Amino acid sequence: GAGVSQSPSNKVTEKGKDVELRCDPISGHTALYWYRQSLGQGLEFLIYFQGNSAPDKSGLPSDRFSAERTGGSVSTLTIQRTQQEDSAVYLCASRSEVRRANDQAFFGQGTRLTVV
């Protein structure tokens, strides 16, 4: 597709359940990011994949959060044993880092997660 695609767009889950959020980046983009945005807050960095390098996981808030990127394309963010404070919009972005002039990140529409 032309842009970054995220699914589902909305997810309501019960506290304690696991959830998986999916991101399809722009074709050819080597970098992929996950961010979290809580109500009235800025974007909180979670994890960053760049090509075949080890991902930067420094933003993951706890070991309940994990992410993988298969084949350098699609990424899945998994939250285990969800808590109410995990409720937020989870945003994915992809970026081409082939040339400096194209070093721009484009975002998907996000997955709105509500933990009840």
- Give me the residues that bind other proteins (CB under 8 A), please: 4, 31, 33, 35, 40-43, 45, 48, 50, 56, 59, 91, 93, 97, 100-101, 103-110, 112
DSSP strand E in 25-116: where?
Answer: 31-37, 43-50, 65-69, 75-79, 88-95, 105-107, 111-115
Is 96 exposed, middle or buried (CB count within 10 Å of its CB: 0-12, 13-18, 19+)? middle
- Which residue, 31 or 115, is less far from other proteins as judged by CB? 31
- Which residue, 18 or 103, is less far from other proteins as judged by CB? 103
- Which residue, 9 or 16, is less far from other proteins as judged by CB? 9
